């Protein structure tokens, strides 16, 4: 895992570069080809696989140019709107790419086509695009709150030590909101302090872990009483169920 490289792209995206033992590599969600080419050169790696999580431009924008230049196989969701997918993947599919063995988890909500890639093992790995963020979750553009809640629950059920690689550095803004929603959470306070220190040195706050997200991410904690209290204190209706609480948290964050 330590060999996984964050390639910054646009203002706040990360394209993840996964080296294989033979000098080839995979990238996840190459929204832009240029920084990927630069990283491959710098690391002395060739590209032989691309993993796509969903159709948004900041995740697929570099696909065509990379595919033209490199002999690589492109894996992604079933969505005709994405040009250049060689292997369409759906829920429960297992796929070996280079040194990696992924299980595909369907996580609709942010978009309807969104999938995540999970690898079990000593250090389990999760590449979850714009579904689960460090301290937050993606906006619900195409699905429903119930759908997004179900998708996040699926990810929350993964092993506690799973390293979570999301696609954006949104952590500080997410944690500012999390502190408003869950003000008495001590672990969250400590996380915010660590994240601020990392960002002040220009370091990524990613990957996080499933256990850290479950302890501090309000969008995985809508069943906890503290979140309902946080919503009430903000003059919002916490609803009667975890899904209703989640929907209200998401609506609040959208305006925060």
Supply the residues annotated as catalytic.
54, 56, 58-59, 110, 130, 168
Figure out which of the listed residues 56, 149, 191, 253 binds Zn ion, where binding follows CB under 5 A: 56
Residue 56 C-beta: closest distance to Zn ion, Å? 4
| Residues 65-101 as b or e (16 or more Cβ within 10 Å = b) | ebbeebebbbbbbebeebeebeeebeeeeebebbebe
- Determine the straight-line distance between the first and last CA of the chain, rounded to whole angstroms: 34
Report d(CA 134, CA 209) in Å as an integer: 9
Cβ proximity to Zn ion, 48 vs 130, nearer residue: 130
- For residues 94 and 103, is the Cβ–Cβ distance under 8 A? yes
Cβ proximity to Zn ion, 15 vs 188, nearer residue: 15
What residues make contact with Fe ion under the rule CB under 5 A?
58, 130
Residue 58 C-beta: closest distance to Zn ion, Å? 7
- For residues 111 and 56, is the Cβ–Cβ distance under 8 A? yes
Report d(CA 228, CA 240) in Å as an integer: 9
Residue 22 C-beta: closest distance to Fe ion, Å? 30
Cβ proximity to Zn ion, 85 vs 245, nearer residue: 85
Alpha-carbon radius of gyration of the chain? 18
Cβ proximity to Zn ion, 29 vs 48, nearer residue: 29
In the shown chain, the binding pattern of residues 96 to 135 toward Zn ion, with x for contact by CB under 5 A and - for none, equals ----------------------------------x-----
Residue 223 C-beta: closest distance to Zn ion, Å? 26
If contact means CB under 5 to 8 A according to the sort of partner, which of Fe ion, Zn ion, none does residue 182 touch?
none
Report d(CA 36, CA 47) in Å as an integer: 9
Cβ proximity to Zn ion, 130 vs 213, nearer residue: 130
- For residues 155 and 131, is the Cβ–Cβ distance under 8 A? yes
124-183 residues near Zn ion, rule: CB under 5 A: 130
Report d(CA 83, CA 177) in Å as an integer: 36
Binding segment for Zn ion among 56-64, 65-73, 210-218, 235-243 (CB under 5 A)?
A: 56-64
Q: Dig out the tokens for 17 from the structure.
A: 């570069």
213 forms part of the interface with Zn ion (CB under 5 A): no
Residue 53 C-beta: closest distance to Fe ion, Å? 9
């Amino acid at each position: 895992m330590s060999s996984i490289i964050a390639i910054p792209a646009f203002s706040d995206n990360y394209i993840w570069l996964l080296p294989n033992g033979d000098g080839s590599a995979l990238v996840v969600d190459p929204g832009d080809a240029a920084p990927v080419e630069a990283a491959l050169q710098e690391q002395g790696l060739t590209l032989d696989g691309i993993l796509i999580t969903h159709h948004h431009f900041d995740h697929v924008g570099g696909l065509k140019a990379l595919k033209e230049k490199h002999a690589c196989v492109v894996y992604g969701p079933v969505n005709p709107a994405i040009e250049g997918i060689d292997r369409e993947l759906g829920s429960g599919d297992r796929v070996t790419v280079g040194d990696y063995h992924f299980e595909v988890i369907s996580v609709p909500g942010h978009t309807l086509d969104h999938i995540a890639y999970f690898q079990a093992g000593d250090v389990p790995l999760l590449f979850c695009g714009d579904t689960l963020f460090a301290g937050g979750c993606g906006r619900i553009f195409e699905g429903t709150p119930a759908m997004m809640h179900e998708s996040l629950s699926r990810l929350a059920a993964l092993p506690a030590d799973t390293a979570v690689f999301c696609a954006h550095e949104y952590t500080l803004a997410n944690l500012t909101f999390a502190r408003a929603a869950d003000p008495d959470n001590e672990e969250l306070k400590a996380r915010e302090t660590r994240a601020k220190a990392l960002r002040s040195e220009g370091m990524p706050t990613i990957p996080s872990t499933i256990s850290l997200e479950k302890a501090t991410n309000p969008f995985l904690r809508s069943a906890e009483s503290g979140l309902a209290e946080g919503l009430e204190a903000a003059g919002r209706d916490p609803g009667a169920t975890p899904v209703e609480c989640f929907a209200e948290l998401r609506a609040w964050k959208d305006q925060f």
